[in-house]
Every structure is written in C-alpha cells, then in structure tokens.
A and B are shown apart, each in its own frame.
Chain A
C-alpha cells in the first residue's frame, strides 16, 4: 500500500536522525508541558478558591454599611457606621425567604487567659452564624439564644486561640478576659483552616453580638449583617427586598449601605484566578507556536538537504502527493511525539510542583486533549509549507542539486 509505505519511509527518516528529531520536537515538548503545568496550577488555585468560598456558606447575602456606588467621597465597605441592630431585626421580620441572619460585629483585642495573652479577632454574632457558615462546635456547646438575648459574658473560641492560650488543657468552662471583662468559654469551634485571603479562620473568639454591642463596642453600629436565603433562585428578589426595606427605613435619604450576594464575591474571587489561568495558558501557548516554527525551520532544512532524494523519488515515479505526504507525516509525527512527551512532562512537573510547594494542582483532561490536538494541528500547519515545497520540486532540478 502506497500510503502505508510512505508513512513507513517518513518514520524511518525520523528514526535515522533520532537526536535531531527529539531536539526538533523539544519546542513542542516544552510548549505542551508548559500549557499543561500552567493550566493545572491555575485550575488547582481556582478549585481551592471555589471550595474556600463554598465554606463561607451557601446563598449568602451580606449587607455592609457605606455605599461605594454613591457620588462624593467614598469610604468603602464598613467605614460608615450606620447599620443598626434594628435594621437587622427588620430584615429578619419583614423579608420573606430569610432562613438565617446574624448581625455581625468585628474587633481585634488582646485577650488573657491561663496567665497567657494573645491578640485575636473578636466577632459578635448570632447563634445562627454556625448554620450560615456551615460551622460547628466540637467540644462543649454554642452559647444559647437566651444568652444572646441577655447579652451574657460567654464565648466560643477557635482552635488557634485554644492552642495559644490553653496549650492542650481543656478550655471549656475556663474564663477568658477581653478588655478586662471576663467571658466564660462554652465551646470550641471545629477547625476551618485558612480562607482564600490567607486569613486563619480558627484565630477567633465568637461572642453574642448583643454582648459585643453592650460591653465592647464604643458605638452602637454593626459591621455587617449576614443573611442566608432559602434558595439560589430567591437571591435576587431577597436582595432587592432588603435594599427596598433599608431604603424605606432611611426615609429616602441617600443609601448608606451596600447589599452584596455571595455569588458576586465568588465571581470576583474566581475571576482573578481565571484571568491568571488564561494568562499562563496563553504564554504557554505562545511557546507552542514557537515550537511549531522550530519544526517548520528544521523541515525546511531537511527538504533542502534531501533535495536529491526527492529528485530520485520523483524520477522513479513518485507523485508530488507522495512526497508531500512523506514530509507532512514527518512533521506531524514530530509534533505528535512532542505532544505526547510534553503531556507526560507536563503532568509529571505539575505533580512535582504540587508536592514541593504544597499547591493544589488539577490536571485538566481538556488541557491534555486540547494541547495534544493543538500540537497535531501545529504539525500539519507548520509542516505543510516545507512539504509542499518538496512536492513541487522539479525532478530534473532536484537531481542536479549538489
């Protein structure tokens, strides 16, 4: 069979120049490996962001004081102090579809216990914060609703705080002093680790928001209100209702609050990693194209070197298409071989990177398949011109070539 034997001829030519073939394919090998490694790292980062965002809870709407869409001087989230507990209660009572709601206070303070001290975050929350954040208490218990109502001096602490202050001792029932006010520890929170922003979520003390307002806060304003909606389809409507309600409560004054949903935050967070993945992939893609040009270059040299061989083949009856196929096969085999080696190298190096740096790496089958197909296409694209040059040679000229 003419096709088969032509392919065999092409393969033999490559094998004969094994070192040169590998060097020629090196551009593609590195290009494909880079694409796969980059996309794997990008995907790993993206999935980590997504999972840490999911750990913040589902169907979450947050209300922040201040309005960054209004004109004039803009302070950003949480700089204006106009959000009140009454606003939070109004939302809970008047907006349909709200499952959980927690008015939030936040502060940092030096805390004392067991003769040690530690600087940490003090969060004032409702008990429903555990449901909202998909969190739990692993030892002891969460403070109760009654304790929230009475602004009791109780708290639950994160694992980091427990480790720093109690160093292995059981913290439950112990007393902890925040700004010299004693709080009784009722529970130890489950460990959540670091979040997307690199913040240690276990380095915290949660007290009832009422206690925070009454005993720690200098001014009676909330840092935010976090709301959990029934279903994702309800989000837009609830967001609108909250906006309308708060607007109404401000008697038509310029809005001094911002309502955001989790989706928007998640999109903003994943957008950066998506951009990063795209950018890294694009840079790697450029190296693939450079690899293709390398193949074209070597194929052109090869055609010139083998002008006489081409002349002989044409003289004994090869059609232009036979010669074209022969050289095109060489280019495609080079690039496919480069693609396959590049895939192995890419997967290997991304595993190594993940092992060494403890980064999450996600090898994407789409990237693997995509770069394989792309390298084959590069072979056809960059191999075609030299192959056609070979096929169009005049047999007499080619035979006379020195």
Chain B
C-alpha cells in the first residue's frame, strides 16, 4: 500500500497565548492509499490541531509532512491553498455550507478556485455527479435551510469530493447529528472508501470509530495507540437492525 500521508516527528506549538501550548508533540504516522482511519482521544488531546496540519490549513512548527509524495511542510499560504483545493477535501462538524446558496452551488465552490478552468456547464455536471455520490441528486436546488442536518452534511461531503481529492478529512463529522443520521453518514463514508477514497476522520464516539478500518488514539499531543478494527461495523447492516428495532418498538407500543 503506497503512503499518501507521511508525518515525520511533527510538532505544533501555539505561541499566541501567555504560555506556549505544545498541542502536537512529535507525531510520526503513515497512512496508505485507500485507508479509512479514525483519530480518537479526549478533548484537548490535539486531534483538531493534527487534523488542521493534515489538511494543510496549518503548518507544523517542526517536522515534515509528505502528502502524496511531496513535502508540504514549508509551503507558503497560496501554495497550501492550491494543495487544499486539488488534493484535499474537508468535512466539518458544523457543515459550514454557504447560506442562501443552493446545494449545487455549495458543491461547486472549490471548483471556483481551481487552477484548471472548466466551463460552467462542466462545473455544473461535476457538481451533480458529486451530489449523486452522496445520494442527494434530487436536492440540488435546495438551500441549506431547507435540508436536514444529515442532508447538509452530505452536501458538505459532496463539496469535499468535487475536485477528486487524494484524502478526505473530516473533523467530528457526526458531532452535530443524531445517532441514526450518524450511521447514515458513516454509510456514505464506507461507500466512498469502498470506491478507493482515503478517509481520515476525528471522532470521540467509540461506536462511530468502529465503522473505520484503523483507530488512532491521541493523548497530550501524542499518538498512543494505533490498532486495526477487529469487529468492524457496516452501516447498511446497522441501519437494517435500527429499522427493525424501530418497527418492533412501534408494534409493542
């Protein structure tokens, strides 16, 4: 399995406050193409900081980060923006969609800043294809306010996928969703992963992490555990069970 993400003794120290905060302390990590990894840990353990580094939103204070074979730890602001645009896709806990902008236009957003110029027709088609991947073809012209939380998160995933990223990054993507919708979103991730997309996500929910292949646990800025998931859950199976349970609940009520 060729490595798509390669971290080498990466540190991140925040100097902004009164005392420097050493949020990531020497993480060395390799993630292969097609992996589906969950990063877990207590609040304040440095998960988001690591995610921002992996997402090229931030630069390591020390150490090296090779993404898709090239060192991105010393790139400037604009070069990092281009990397984010071309090689990475983001899904956030708060969905972060533009309000009063349709689902399709939200999905098109990264293409607006892409270095390869597509016609508006092609951009359009690409966005619809991306929405189809997350099962939202019929909601292309809806505004975020007209969509449920799960649907909004699917739009965000479609947006993350539009430029064919090397890695899909998600920081607590199910943090704002109820448990059933969370399972649905994990279903979308599993389906995308099955098509070969590398996915890295942060979660603090143990059962959500069990839908992934590999679990990392962080504590005080270090990766303290790195295990394969033995009894992996599949979303389709879990959803079927959930629906059955609902049905019996209705019958007995």
Could you list which residues of chain A lie within 8 angstroms of chain B, going by C-beta atoms? Answer: 1-2, 5-6, 9, 16, 308-309, 311-322, 395-396, 399
Partner of B159, one of A2, A16, A316, A318: A316
Do B57 and A308 have beta carbons less than 8 Å apart? no
Residue numbers in A under 8 Å from B82 (CB-CB): 317
Do A316 and B109 have beta carbons less than 8 Å apart? yes
Do B113 and A316 have beta carbons less than 8 Å apart? yes
Do B86 and A315 have beta carbons less than 8 Å apart? no
Do A314 and B81 have beta carbons less than 8 Å apart? yes
Residue numbers in B under 8 Å from A320 (CB-CB): 77-78
Do A1 and B109 have beta carbons less than 8 Å apart? no
B159 and chain A: residue at smallest CB distance = A316
**Least Cβ distance of A276 to chain B in Å?**
49
Partner of B86, one of A317, A321, A395: A317
Chain B CB within 10 Å, residue with most, of A314, A316, A318, A322 = A316
Residue numbers in A under 8 Å from B55 (CB-CB): 315
Tell me whether B52 is interfacial, beta carbon within 8 Å: yes
Do A396 and B98 have beta carbons less than 8 Å apart? no
**Least Cβ distance of A159 to chain B in Å?**
71
Partner of B96, one of A2, A308, A321: A308
Residue numbers in A under 8 Å from B84 (CB-CB): 315-317
Partner of A313, one of B58, B78, B92, B109: B109
Residue numbers in B under 8 Å from A9 (CB-CB): 112
Residue numbers in B under 8 Å from A314 (CB-CB): 81
A-B contact pairs, 10 of them (CB 8 A): A5-B112, A9-B112, A16-B100, A317-B110, A317-B113, A318-B113, A319-B78, A320-B77, A396-B57, A399-B92
Residue numbers in A under 8 Å from B117 (CB-CB): 1-2
The CA-CA distance from A16 to B100 in the complex, in Å, is 9
A308-B96, A320-B78 known; A315 vs B90 contact (CB < 8 Å): yes
Partner of B98, one of A309, A317, A399: A309
Do B96 and A312 have beta carbons less than 8 Å apart? yes
Do B58 and A399 have beta carbons less than 8 Å apart? no
Tell me whether B153 is interfacial, beta carbon within 8 Å: no
Interface SS, A side:
helix
**Least Cβ distance of B202 to chain A in Å?**
14
Do B113 and A312 have beta carbons less than 8 Å apart? no
A321 and chain B: residue at smallest CB distance = B78
A16-B100, A311-B96, A312-B98 known; A319 vs B113 contact (CB < 8 Å): yes
Partner of A399, one of B96, B97, B112, B114: B96
**Least Cβ distance of A389 to chain B in Å?**
16
Tell me whether B198 is interfacial, beta carbon within 8 Å: no
A395 and chain B: residue at smallest CB distance = B57
**Least Cβ distance of B91 to chain A in Å?**
11
Tell me whether B174 is interfacial, beta carbon within 8 Å: no
Bitwise, B59-103 to A at CB < 8 A (1) or not (0) is: 000000000000000000110011011100010100011101000
The CA-CA distance from A312 to B85 in the complex, in Å, is 12
The CA-CA distance from A303 to B57 in the complex, in Å, is 20
**Least Cβ distance of A391 to chain B in Å?**
10
The CA-CA distance from A329 to B110 in the complex, in Å, is 20
B78 and chain A: residue at smallest CB distance = A319
Residue numbers in A under 8 Å from B96 (CB-CB): 308, 311-312, 315, 399
**Least Cβ distance of B76 to chain A in Å?**
10
A314 and chain B: residue at smallest CB distance = B81
**Least Cβ distance of B33 to chain A in Å?**
22
Residue numbers in B under 8 Å from A312 (CB-CB): 96-98, 109
Residue numbers in B under 8 Å from A1 (CB-CB): 117
Residue numbers in B under 8 Å from A313 (CB-CB): 109, 113
B108 and chain A: residue at smallest CB distance = A5
B52 and chain A: residue at smallest CB distance = A396
Bitwise, B36-57 to A at CB < 8 A (1) or not (0) is: 0000000000000000100101
Partner of B113, one of A2, A308, A311, A399: A2
The CA-CA distance from A314 to B110 in the complex, in Å, is 10
Residue numbers in A under 8 Å from B78 (CB-CB): 319-321
Residue numbers in A under 8 Å from B92 (CB-CB): 399
A313-B109, A396-B57, A399-B92 known; A318 vs B98 contact (CB < 8 Å): no
A1-B117, A5-B112, A9-B112 known; A316 vs B85 contact (CB < 8 Å): yes
The CA-CA distance from A313 to B159 in the complex, in Å, is 12
The CA-CA distance from A318 to B82 in the complex, in Å, is 8
Residue numbers in B under 8 Å from A395 (CB-CB): 57
**Least Cβ distance of A142 to chain B in Å?**
81
The CA-CA distance from A369 to B237 in the complex, in Å, is 71
A311-B96, A399-B92 known; A316 vs B110 contact (CB < 8 Å): yes
Extra contacts, 18 of them, besides A313-B109, A313-B113, A322-B113 (Cβ < 8 A), are: A2-B113, A2-B117, A6-B112, A9-B112, A312-B97, A312-B98, A312-B109, A315-B84, A316-B109, A316-B113, A316-B159, A317-B81, A317-B86, A318-B113, A319-B78, A319-B81, A320-B78, A396-B52
A320-B78, A399-B92, A399-B96 known; A315 vs B114 contact (CB < 8 Å): no
The CA-CA distance from A311 to B90 in the complex, in Å, is 12
Bitwise, B189-229 to A at CB < 8 A (1) or not (0) is: 00000000000000000000000000000000000000000
Do A318 and B81 have beta carbons less than 8 Å apart? yes
Chain B CB within 10 Å, residue with most, of A1, A319, A321 = A319
**Least Cβ distance of B88 to chain A in Å?**
9
B112 and chain A: residue at smallest CB distance = A5
Do B98 and A315 have beta carbons less than 8 Å apart? no
The CA-CA distance from A322 to B159 in the complex, in Å, is 19
Residue numbers in B under 8 Å from A315 (CB-CB): 55, 57, 84, 90, 96
The CA-CA distance from A395 to B109 in the complex, in Å, is 15
The CA-CA distance from A373 to B105 in the complex, in Å, is 35
Residue numbers in A under 8 Å from B113 (CB-CB): 2, 313, 316-319, 322
